[in-house]
Amino acid sequence: MTDDYADRLVDESALRAFLRAELDGTGEEPDETNETNEDGVRADESGNEHGTRDGSGTRDESGTRDEDGARDEDGTRDENGTRDEDRGDTGDGADAPTFTVERHGAGHSNETLFVTFGDRELVVRRPPPGETAATAHDVLREHHVTDALVDTPVPVPEPVAACDDETVLGAEFYVMERVAGDVIRGTEPTRFGDPDSRRQVGEELVDTLAAIHTVDPETVGLDEFGKPAGFTRRQVNRWAGQFQWAFETTMTEREVPEIFEATEWLTDNVPDAHPETLVHGDFKLDNVMFAPGTPPELVGVFDWELSTLGDPRTDLGWLLSFWRDPGDPEMAVPELGTAFTDREGYPTRTELVSRWESATGLDYEHDRFYRALAVYKLAALGEMFFRRHLEGNADDDLYPVMRERVPAMAERCLRIVDGEEPL
């Protein structure tokens, strides 16, 4: 991370003052009696940590958000990019507690900052700097839904505070407790490398998705969180609009004609009706956390910025689009795929569907539409990433490779439409 980009993300003195005021309401620093609290800080076996975010690209590059949770595109620092003040020597006295801020580099949309404040391990989520599309990066939406779900069967990090005053960090942001565990991304944790553990990973994942879809929105205060009627058609229109936003810049570099064919097919094949539930919007293996140890236990669901009331089949189609079965073709975007779920023990896509149907009482119909829509959405996100790269508003090695990856995703979308990649 460049110094300039980091400085645009956080004013450490402003963040520290905000936390001092919010954590106890007096503006006093917390006592530093332990290096970490019981929620601790733990990296996964691949070096991943969370309050976190990674990319499947799952989120587009926008600024505000519509009722579907959709988005349009929108101290010092060591050699590892860690920014830390001098352990409290900021005019508060020699005994001031530890305060450090570190950017988590695994995400590809909203920014995640790991904060140590005395004995508290926290996570700050904020949008990236620079121009974004009209409805993206709604971090306060994340805070709202996780706060509502704290006492439900859906595991979420404990929210701490939210701030809509953009003068503090230059954007809205929220703070949550950091959860201990592993986010599974590019590699399979060694302790889950046996068939029984693999099966449990898949079952925990789809059972948690079913738990989201069976939450009663009215009971938890989310009954006005979105407009579920007509959600699926609006999704097609919204993501088509996000392509248009990105193409304003990216088409000067190269064109992706397959997108227009995919847009036409999706528009003509929107299901006439769909169930209406709470939806996550970006549910997949690398947006959840598993507890340390065995057997696999899912302890956190992250990255709720696309959540709303809508069609739960869009969530399931999204998960299935990332889940590999034995014999599947090469991944269109290897940087964002889960390459190991075709190993012995992991449930197949059809087994995940059956378990979800049993847990929710819903039917998964129109599979080609929902998986094609998922790949189309991911391609739109990639195109928005590519625009931000071209405009110099990103510090992410993934963004420039979208020059080639988006056309590959568009081709995959059409293969699903044509039945060449069945469930």
CB 31 within 8 A of CB 118: yes
CA 276 to chain centre: 22
Residue 185 counted as domain residue? no
**What CATH number does the domain containing 53 carry?**
3.30.200.20
Residue of 330, 45, 328, 12 whose CA lies nearest to 184: 45
Its sign, for the CA torsion 104, 107, 112, 118, is: negative
**Cα distance between residue 333 and residue 312, in whole Å:** 24
Q: How many domains does the chain have?
A: 2
**Cα distance between residue 207 and residue 228, in whole Å:** 22
pTM of the model: 0.81
One-letter amino acid for residue 228 of the chain: P
CA 37 to chain centre: 25
**Cα distance between residue 420 and residue 400, in whole Å:** 29
Same domain? For 384 and 248 the reply is yes
pLDDT tens column, 304-349: 989 999 999 999 999 999 999 999 999 999 988 789 999 999 999 9
One-letter amino acid for residue 289 of the chain: M
Same domain? For 123 and 239 the reply is no
Residue 332 counted as domain residue? yes
Residue 423 counted as domain residue? no
Same domain? For 276 and 395 the reply is yes
Q: How many CB atoms lie within 10 A of CB 328?
A: 14
Same domain? For 318 and 195 the reply is yes
Same domain? For 44 and 124 the reply is yes
In a structure prediction context, what are the per-residue pLDDT tens digits for the chain, which is 423 residues long?
Answer: 445 655 567 788 999 999 999 886 644 455 444 333 333 333 333 334 444 333 333 333 333 344 454 444 333 334 333 444 433 444 455 556 789 998 876 555 688 999 999 999 999 999 876 544 444 458 899 999 999 999 999 999 999 999 999 999 988 999 999 999 999 988 999 999 999 999 999 999 999 999 999 999 999 999 999 999 999 999 999 999 999 999 999 999 999 999 999 999 999 999 999 999 999 999 999 999 999 999 999 999 999 989 999 999 999 999 999 999 999 999 999 988 789 999 999 999 999 999 999 999 999 999 999 999 999 999 999 999 999 999 998 778 999 999 999 999 999 999 999 999 999
Domain containing residue 257: 190-417
Same domain? For 222 and 370 the reply is yes
Same domain? For 96 and 167 the reply is yes
Domain end among 155, 177, 199: 177
**Cα distance between residue 198 and residue 204, in whole Å:** 10
Residue 422 counted as domain residue? no
Strand 298-301 to 288-290 pairing: antiparallel
Same domain? For 204 and 173 the reply is no
CA angle 414, 415, 420 (to 5 degrees): 150
**Cα distance between residue 283 and residue 168, in whole Å:** 30
**Cα distance between residue 160 and residue 304, in whole Å:** 16
Residue 137 counted as domain residue? yes
Residue 182 counted as domain residue? no
Residue 211 counted as domain residue? yes
Domain end among 177, 200, 220: 177
Same domain? For 242 and 338 the reply is yes
Same domain? For 172 and 205 the reply is no
Domain end among 177, 209, 235: 177
CB 67 within 8 A of CB 308: yes
**What CATH number does the domain containing 369 carry?**
3.90.1200.10
Same domain? For 197 and 168 the reply is no
Residue 90 counted as domain residue? yes
**Whole-number CA gyration radius for the chain:** 21
Same domain? For 23 and 89 the reply is yes
**Cα distance between residue 161 and residue 125, in whole Å:** 11
pLDDT tens column, 186-223: 899 999 999 999 999 999 999 999 999 999 999 999 99
Q: What backbone torsions phi and psi does residue 342 show, to the nearest 5 degrees?
A: -90, 5
Q: Residue 275, preceding bond cis, omega within 30 degrees?
A: no
Q: What is the 3-state secondary structure (H, E, C) of the chain?
A: CCHHHHHHHCCHHHHHHHHHHHHHCCCCCCCCCCCCCCCCCCCCCCCCCCCCCCCCCCCCCECCCCCCCCCCCCCEECCCCEEECCCCCCCCCCCCCCEEEEEECCCCCCEEEEEEECCEEEEEEECCCCCCECCCCCHHHHHHHHHHHCCCCCCCCCEEEEECCHHHHCCCEEEEECCCCECCCCCCCHHHCCHHHHHHHHHHHHHHHHHHHCCCCCCCCCCCCCCCCCHHHHHHHHHHHHHHHHHHHHCCCCCCCHHHHHHHHHHHCCCCCCCCEEECCCCCHHHEEECCCCCCCEEEECCCCCCEEECHHHHHHHHHHHCCCCCCCCCCCHHHCCCCCCCCCCCCHHHHHHHHHHHHCCCCCCHHHHHHHHHHHHHHHHHHHHHHHHHCCCCCCHHHHHHHHHHHHHHHHHHHHCCCCCC
